[in-house]
């Protein structure tokens, strides 16, 4: 029941975000005097509507988005009534059209920023000083966190009765102990501990020096066996290696909680990191298509593959089911930021495509004027329709792939 509630809540959050996106277009257009004839939440048959002034507002039967109708978006539109020619959107200065067309993405960014600030104050944001790579983690002091057992396979799962107990726990080591030597080799960081451990074999007896509460100690234990790739090749073939049954206990907190003022800086830094991450993720989208097909055809789902709103809603459901509300709201933040960026891509029919054409017209007119040539006028959108259809087709196929993968082989964050 909690899972279903989470799915519905996240889907509703997406719907509200998209509705506010369209409201951003509508409000800025009205502020400049453009004519907006309709604003609806959803698509399909009208369930309920009312008219106020020259705009009809309402709710439609398919809650998969929303739209607003601004009269005369392009010179080729035939929706301009006599007497309203001066209010056609395409006749307005390019800077006004840019504001109107970018208002949707700005709304998404605003939602992401406000939610991030609230998270920074209430729960904390990821610590920018926390190690994010294996190389950084291996420079951390060798302070250990005990595992309950050693899982023989290179996998993440719960302990089974047949799994050997953690050798570190058998040796009476504790969470927070700092390993200082391993078989006589001094240990200065976690990377050196891993290297020394790999130099042994499963079944060997290890002599371990440690510090607990400032007091040194020694112990010994028989090493277990697990499966891991080489330290210098994380994607290499796995093989049997000795295991101590420990993890790294980081010396820096994973999250930092801010005061209301300091949260502004934390929000700005987190947003900058998210912008870089979004850019890198968008660059990888084409190469992830084969991985999506593999997931659909029965292969393992790569957690780095794109997800649709269906997948995002399912993850939201998992978060609520596991009382992980922070995960829920971080998903909301990242999704809004991604939609805001994606919508500004200079491709029709996206808002970024309309903005790019408006500025192309402006620059072309300026260049022609500099050379004493007559203004070439507006871009003929009808000539761009084949390219627009190609973009829509590619987007439709990609959406179908992600939705199908999210239904038949979804990404999961928690064990269910």
Residues annotated catalytic, as ranges: 22
DSSP assignment letter at 165: B
Nearest to 110 by CA among 13, 24, 26, 215: 24
Cis peptide bond N-terminal to 349, omega within 30? yes
Within 32-93, where are the H helices? Answer: none
Helix, strand, or coil (residue 248): strand
Q: Residue 289 is encoded by which pair of tokens? A: 């298509």
CA 174/CA 144 separation, integer angstroms: 8
291: Cα separation from own chain's centroid: 18
The residues pairing with 247 across neighbouring beta strands, listed in sequence order, are 145
User: Rounded CA gap, 236 and 33, in Å?
Assistant: 62
Question: Long-range contacts: 295-298, Cβ < 8 Å, 24+?
Answer: 295/405, 295/408, 295/409, 296/401, 296/404, 296/405, 296/408, 296/409, 298/409
Helix pair angle (385-408, 262-296), 10° resolution: 80
Burial class (CB in 10 A: 0-12, 13-18, 19+), 195: middle
Dist. CA 146–CA 247, nearest whole Å = 6
**Token couple for 44:** 């399909």
- Other Cβ atoms less than 10 A from the Cβ of 59: the count is 14
């Amino acid at each position: 029941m909690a899972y279903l509630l989470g799915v519905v809540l996240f889907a509703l959050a997406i719907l509200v975000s998209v509705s506010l996106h369209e409201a951003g277009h509508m409000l800025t257009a009205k502020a400049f005097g453009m004519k907006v004839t309709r604003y609806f939440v959803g698509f399909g048959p009208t369930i309920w509507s009312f008219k106020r002034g020259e705009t009809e507002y309402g709710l439609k039967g398919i809650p998969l988005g929303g739209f607003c109708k601004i009269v005369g978006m392009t010179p080729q539109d035939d929706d301009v009534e006599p007497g309203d020619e001066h209010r056609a959107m395409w006749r307005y200065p390019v800077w006004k059209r840019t504001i109107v067309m970018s208002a949707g993405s700005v709304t998404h960014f605003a939602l992401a920023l406000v939610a991030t600030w609230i998270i920074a104050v209430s729960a904390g944001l990821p610590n920018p000083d926390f190690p994010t790579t294996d190389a950084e983690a291996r420079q951390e002091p060798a302070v250990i966190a005990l595992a309950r057992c050693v899982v023989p396979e290179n996998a993440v799962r719960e302990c089974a009765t047949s799994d050997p107990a953690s050798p570190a726990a058998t040796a009476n080591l504790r969470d927070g102990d700092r390993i200082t030597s391993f078989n006589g080799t001094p240990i200065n960081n976690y990377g050196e501990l891993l290297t020394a451990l790999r130099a042994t074999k499963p079944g060997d007896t290890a002599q371990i020096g440690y510090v607990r509460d400032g007091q040194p100690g020694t112990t010994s234990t028989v090493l277990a066996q697990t499966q891991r790739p080489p330290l210098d090749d994380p994607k290499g073939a796995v093989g049997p290696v000795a295991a101590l049954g420990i993890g790294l206990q980081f010396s820096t907190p994973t999250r930092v909680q801010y005061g209301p003022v300091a949260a502004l800086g934390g929000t700005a830094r987190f947003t900058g990191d998210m912008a870089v991450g979004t850019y890198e993720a968008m660059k990888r989208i084409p190469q992830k298509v084969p991985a999506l097909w593999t997931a659909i055809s029965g292969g393992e789902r790569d957690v780095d593959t794109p997800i649709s709103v269906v997948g995002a809603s399912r993850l939201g459901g998992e978060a609520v089911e596991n009382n992980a509300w922070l995960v829920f709201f971080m998903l909301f933040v990242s999704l809004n930021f991604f939609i805001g960026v994606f919508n500004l891509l200079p491709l029709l029919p996206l808002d970024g495509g309309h903005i790019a054409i408006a500025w192309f017209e402006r620059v072309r007119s300026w260049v022609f004027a500099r050379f004493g040539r007559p203004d070439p006028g507006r871009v003929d959108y009808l000539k761009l329709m084949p390219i627009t259809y190609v973009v829509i087709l590619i987007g439709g196929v990609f959406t179908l792939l992600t939705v199908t993968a999210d239904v038949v082989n979804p990404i999961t964050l928690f064990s269910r």
